[in-house]
Amino acid sequence: MYLIKNGVVHVGDGTILKDCDILTKGSTIQKIGQGLDCPEAEVVDASGCEVFPGFIDPHSMIGALGIPSRSLDNQEKSDPITPELNVKYSVDPDELNGQEFYKSGITTVGLAPGNTNIMGGQIVVVKTAPMKMSRRIVKEKAALKCSVTASVKSVYGKQNKMPMTRMGSFWMLEEAIRKSEKSGGGTENQERDRVIQDVFDKKKMPVFAAAERIGEIAGLHHLMEEKQVPFVLVDGYEFGDVIEDMKRQHTGLILGNVNDGSRIAKHGMDLGKIKELAENGNKIAFTNSSSGSSEGREVFLWTAIEVFRAGVDAEEVVKMMTIHPAAMLGVGDRIGALREGMDADLSIYTGHPVKTYAARVKHSIINGEVVF
């Protein structure tokens, strides 16, 4: 049991509570308010500090890359259509622990398949604290990861089989959906068809689709609009060139690591257009991934700072690090905001990490335990 005292509390939805206390009990938040008292609780002094919900990276590869050898256990390169796979079975807890995400305030990640398959498998949501996996898993099968990037063509082109072109990738994506619609569950790939039907017909699971360039992004919008399926765009470096499609279809955006090889310069990005999407109601989030691979935990914050510097309000950026990714992953009832009854995942900073590089994590609390 902890009593966090006298902090500037950022709820996650844009609300700021000054000189506020938070009482945790077990793994949940019990009470939020001013002047709280609980003699049996251990006091955490947050005076002069900023208190946030634990940040969420909804699309990370770290934990399944096989570092340092890079075995890439989250990328099944034998078949471009593998929606039935569960990335949970590729997770290496030691690799996930070694990254120490919580030292940058990231308390939850959505571990995702890579970009090499058109349908790569299902995302699992886990806490970043070094705990038993049974305590870390927030949600399995949180989203279906798809990709129409050049990575797909690169892998299967070397094998001299489809898809070797973007045209082939989109045909195979449409064909997989069509086959599942007609199968009635009677094919040899029943589980594969069931997952595709759950996503594209019954809308039980969201789609996270990786695309970088304008042609890839525009193609996804055309296909998903035709199928009447909302989706979340991953990486999406040229999103600004199709912003009207993004706004009309309310496409979510998980912005990839813009610092990797200066994506801003390479793709002529105008990060100021993020504000336009936010004002339209599109959900935005950030990730440390880039083109199907993940870098260090710091790049998550660097991207957030770049968006703030482009003119987006700091508390709007905080939403993109907390409540928006939680909603994308379907876990907004547990994480992403500081509210009574929700998971006690908190990041206590010496300053506002979106406004200054000088801000540092003072305490990181996950499932009600101080892990840093």
pLDDT at residue 132 in the model: 84
E strands, the chain, are 2-10, 16-25, 28-33, 42-45, 50-53, 55-60, 106-111, 119-127, 137-147, 207-211, 231-235, 252-255, 284-286, 289-290, 293-294, 346-349, 361-366, 369-370
CA–CA gap between residue 355 and residue 335 (Å, rounded): 23
pLDDT, tens digit only, all 372 positions of the chain? 999 999 999 999 999 999 999 999 999 999 999 999 999 999 999 999 999 999 999 999 887 776 665 678 888 999 999 999 999 998 888 888 888 999 999 999 999 999 999 999 999 999 999 988 888 999 999 999 999 999 999 999 999 999 999 999 999 999 999 988 877 655 567 889 999 999 998 889 999 999 999 999 999 999 999 999 999 999 999 999 999 999 999 999 999 999 877 888 889 899 999 999 999 999 999 999 888 888 778 889 999 999 999 999 999 999 999 999 999 999 999 999 999 999 999 999 999 999 998 999 999 999 999 999
Structure token pair of residue 46: 């947050």
Sequential DSSP letters for 156-220: HHHTT-S-SSHHHHHHHHHHHHHHHHHHTT-STTHHHHHHHHHHHTS--S-EEEEE-SHHHHHHH
| pLDDT score at 93 | 86
**pLDDT confidence of residue 126:** 96
User: What is the structure's pLDDT at 212?
Assistant: 96
Amino acid, res. 347: S
Q: DSSP letters of 239-274? A: GGGGHHHHHHTT-EEEE--TTTTTHHHHTT--TTHH
| pLDDT attached to residue 68 | 63
Q: Which domains does the chain have, with CATH numbers?
A: 2-50+340-370 (2.30.40.10), 55-328 (3.20.20.140)
Select from 170, 196, 172, 171 the least CA-distant residue to 184. Answer: 196
Which one, of 67, 116, 119, 118, lies nearest residue 91 by Cα? 67
How far is the C-alpha of 334 from the C-alpha of 342, rounded, in Å?
5
